[in-house]
A and B are shown apart, each in its own frame.
Chain A
Amino acid sequence: MPENGGYMIAAYVVVGAILIGYSLSLYLRARRSLRA
């Protein structure tokens, strides 16, 4: 079996970052919009 666990981790980290990042973006934009 090939040794490619590093790629797996990289992908999981990137995808998680994108999803969490977008959730944060939505949260902050809504807060800014409500405050204005």
Chain B
Amino acid sequence: MRMLQVGRWITAVGLVLLAGVYVRALAYTPVEASQGLAQKIFYLHVPAAIWAETAMVLVGLASVFYLFTKDQRLDRFAAASAEVGTIFCAIVLTSGPIWGKPIWGTWWTWDARLTSTLFLFLLYAGYLLLRSAVTDPGARARFSAVLGICGMCEVPFIHLSVYMFPTLHPMPIVLQPGRPKLPGSMLATWLFSLGVFTLLYVGFVVQRYALSYQREQRESHA
């Protein structure tokens, strides 16, 4: 299956480049003075967080278009993006506390950002559970679309709540205009990592999409 091959290649390249990110972040990027080495978790944590959220927005958009067009490809894409988004969300939820423990002294705090990532994970988990609970493919696609759209609409509220609650979490540093920027070398590493995570997202989604397609083919021939 060609799509599967393409997906596997993209993922393979992504993983190799990920090793490159690791090397660059660990060995060739300056250490941040106040936080120490643990700060380098930032280079994995933030790109993963960006894609965890973007994946949910994409699920939502695909869901909207699905309800209008009933095109099965959109449903397949939504399912793929949801599964991959869950993985990235898990990365954020594991790297976050590991970063937080040395810096804030605690594994978990109910601050807005951590909590909202947890919500995102719950949204994903609910979406995947709903898909597995509904057997009829038509209903499954429709229901998932409904949930996906609600999930996408929830994301802005989650964001807003970040700014409403007092938080230990560092405020946005990379994309805030007018605030102290990341020094060049760190920015480069961060951008490199973002690119790799983008590549991995695409590779994973393509593979997962192909998997859905394969399964559907099998079921229709059974």
Contact = CB atoms under 8 A, between A and B. Distances in A.
| A and B, direct touch (CB closer than 8 Å) | yes
Contacts of B38: 2, 4-5, 7-8, 11
A11 B37 contact: no
A7 B18 contact: no
Give the dominant DSSP class at B's interface.
helix
A11 to B, nearest CB: 4
Nearest to B99: A11
Nearest to B90: A18
A20 B44 contact: no
B91 interface: yes
B207 A8 contact: no
A6 B115 CA distance: 25
Chain B interface residue bracket vs A: 35 or more
Nearest to A25: B87
A14 B95 contact: yes
A26 B33 CA distance: 40
Given A8-B41, A18-B87, A30-B207, A2 B36 contact: yes
A25 B48 CA distance: 19
Contacts of A12: 22, 26, 40-41, 44
Contacts of A18: 87, 90-91, 94
Contact of A23 (B11, B90, B95): B11
A11 B44 contact: yes
B98 interface: yes
B33 A1 contact: yes
B91 A15 contact: yes
Contact of A11 (B35, B95, B211): B95
A11 B97 CA distance: 9
Nearest to A5: B37
